[in-house]
Amino acid sequence: MEIIIIDTGMANVGSVSNMIRYLGFQCTVSNDINLIKNADKLILPGVGSFDEGMLALKNSHLLDCLIEEVITNRKPILGICLGMQLMTKGSEEGKIPGLGWFDAETKKFDSTYLGQKRIVPHMGWNSVKASKHLELFDGFENSSKFYFVHSYYVDAYNSSEILCTTEYGEKFVSGLNKDNIFGVQFHPEKSHRYGMNLLKSFIELEC
Amino acid sequence: MLKKRIIPSLLLKGNGLYKTTKFSNPIYLGDAINVAKIFNAKEVDELMLFDIDSSKLNKAPNFSLIKDIASSCFMPLTYGGGIETIENAKKIFKSGIEKIALNTALFKKPRLVKELSDYFGRQSIVASLNVKRDLFGRYIVVNNSLKKCYDGRLPDLLLELTEAGAGEIFINDVDRDGTLKGYDINLAKLVCSNSGLPVSFCGGASSFEDIKEVLFEGGVSGAVAGSLFVFSGPRKAVLISYPSSDDIQKIISSDER
């Protein structure tokens, strides 16, 4: 099993590789096109702003390679936080179009909801309700929780692409999935055993 | 719904961990990596690390130690100390830190918050403020040498920092640091009501009751404590602790009040 964590030069790649190695799997942090082509599974982490993220992919000449591997060859990929947002059509945070793999757009949380003040960013531990791929969230008798830190969220236009949802004033989409493409808004690599279970399940998933 | 956070704060000096009282008299607690591993095993919500030498001695962050700590922690980490450039910040994030805290640099390099926020996103930038009372009991913002470093009012500073691109406010109450006197709830309320950002608050915690009070009466998102989680008993014997998941449930379920 060869897992490549795509290095955009600006993400929290250290934490993701730490957890995957702790789980006993091999992984490499890289932006090398050959390694990405030979990988079994890809992870696209993300910290930073939307345009910086898209520019990082463009500047590393990864766009064509990712489209071929993920869309044509259907290689499983997991986007984390900004990594998932980049898979939408675009973001209110930036001007550059996203990858457009999901029928979704990335929007900013309002600082009020139903007249109540809402703190943005949404930062801390929150629970998620799985809509599919329950194995990613299994095993904790509904007590699982994940660490979130984000000011933007994905608005999914096709409900069949919703992987999971979370409440923050209102319900929002905290994970997306279509075929071999997965994305989560929270940080599994920073979510203790709940995150380990999710990463392990993704790695062992047969798509 | 979003859960309130309970956060141990650890002070680095060299490769060791220390705990101060009113920002002085550092007491050695142990090896930083070991202590971080114990907190990881206790599944803490988050850890905050501050290098208390970096800014004072004008040293760059201790990148190798930060990396070693981060590689044994599967929870969010905030690091503060000696970050003055985008390059330093990049290295910190790459080593597995989620959020960086700026304190000295807020006043020394006022444009840095915006630069870092534009590059890394506001959610990863914590504005860390040391607050003290002056002779008249008014809140003032001081640097790590306890000298006043901002002339205006605290609410104005909070607004400035929010507009500059901070994503979280961290308040360190200097007068209560290490005193176990309980949090200053009025200060917590003042900061929360003047900031639309998540607020983490440190200084004085001595019990789970204190934590509950600052979270729900103070209104903060994160209750931060040092002594409470590293000392035991009146003689301050070193003992690393953290509330059990049952205790946390009791603390963070506000409707039980």
Place of tokens 């909070």: B158
Q: What is the pLDDT of residue B56?
A: 80
Its domain, for residue A67, covers 3-204
CB pair distance less than 8 Å for A18 and B96: yes
Residue B152: CB atoms within 10 Å = 10
Q: Residue A167 sits in a domain of what CATH number?
A: 3.40.50.880
Residue B197 lies in a domain: yes
Residue B85: per-residue pLDDT:
94
Question: How far apart are the C-alpha atoms of B221 and B192, rounded to whole Å?
Answer: 9
Domain assignment of residue B128, yes or no? yes
Give the per-residue pLDDT at A115.
86
Q: Which residues of A are catalytic?
A: 81, 187, 189
d(CA A54, CA A18): 24
Domain boundaries, position B131: 5-251
Of the candidate ranges B85-99, B154-168, B185-199, the one whose mean pLDDT is the lowest = B85-99
Cα A131 from Cα A128, distance rounded (Å)? 10
For the question of an ipTM over 0.85, the answer is: yes
What pLDDT score does A10 carry?
65
Chain B residues at the A interface, defined by Cβ less than 8 Å, are 1-5, 43, 45-46, 67, 70-71, 74-77, 90, 93-99, 118-124, 167-168, 196-198, 221-222
Q: How far apart are CA B217 and CA A150, in angstroms?
A: 25
Answer whether B120 sits within 8 Å of A47, measured CB to CB. yes
pLDDT tier for residue B256 given thresholds of 50, 70 and 90? very low
- If 0-12 CB within 10 Å is exposed, 13-18 middle and 19+ buried, where does residue B168 land? buried
If one counts every other C-beta atom within 10 angstroms of the C-beta of residue B133, the result is 14
**Number of separate domains in chain B:** 1
Q: Answer yes or no: is B256 within a domain.
A: no
- Compute the mean pLDDT over every residue in chain B, rounded to the nearest whole number: 93
Residues of B in contact with A11 (CB under 8 A): 93
Please count the CA atoms within 13 angstroms of the CA of A159 that sit on its side-chain side: 1
Integer Cα distance of B148 and A32 in angstroms? 50
| pLDDT (tens digit per residue) in B4-53 | 999 999 999 999 999 999 999 999 999 999 999 999 999 999 999 999 99
Distance (Å) from the alpha carbon of A91 to chain B's nearest alpha carbon: 13
pLDDT by 10s per residue, chain A, length 207? 899 999 877 666 888 999 999 999 999 999 999 999 999 999 999 877 899 899 999 999 999 999 999 999 999 999 999 999 999 999 999 999 999 999 999 999 999 888 888 898 999 999 999 999 999 998 776 678 999 999 999 999 999 999 999 999 999 999 999 999 999 999 999 999 999 999 999 999 987
- Residue B257 confidence (pLDDT) above 60: no
| Residues constituting chain A | 207
Angle A12-A13-A14 (CA atoms, 0-180°, nearest 5)? 90
Q: Which residue of A has its CA nearest to B197?
A: A119
The minimal CB distance from A168 to the residues B2, B71, B93 is found for B2
CB count in 10 Å sphere of residue B49: 25
Nearest CB neighbour to B75, from listed A119, A147, A151: A147
B112-154 per-position pLDDT tens digit: 999 999 888 888 899 999 999 999 999 999 999 999 999 999 9
Q: pLDDT digit string (tens) for A102-155? A: 999 999 999 988 888 889 899 999 999 999 999 999 877 667 899 999 999 999
| For range B72-85, the mean pLDDT | 95
Domain count, chain A: 1
Categorise residue B169: left if φ over 0, alpha if ψ from -120 to 50, beta otherwise.
beta
Cα–Cα dist A94/B132, whole Å: 40
For residue B192, give the CATH number of its domain: 3.20.20.70
The answer as to whether B257 is a domain residue is no
- What is the share, in percent, of chain B residues with pLDDT greater than 90? 86
Nearest CA-CA distance, residue A72 and chain B, Å = 31
Whether residues A190 and B75 touch (CB distance < 8 A) is answered with yes
| Nearest CB partner across the interface for A47, out of B2, B121, B168 | B121
Answer yes or no: is B79 within a domain.
Answer: yes
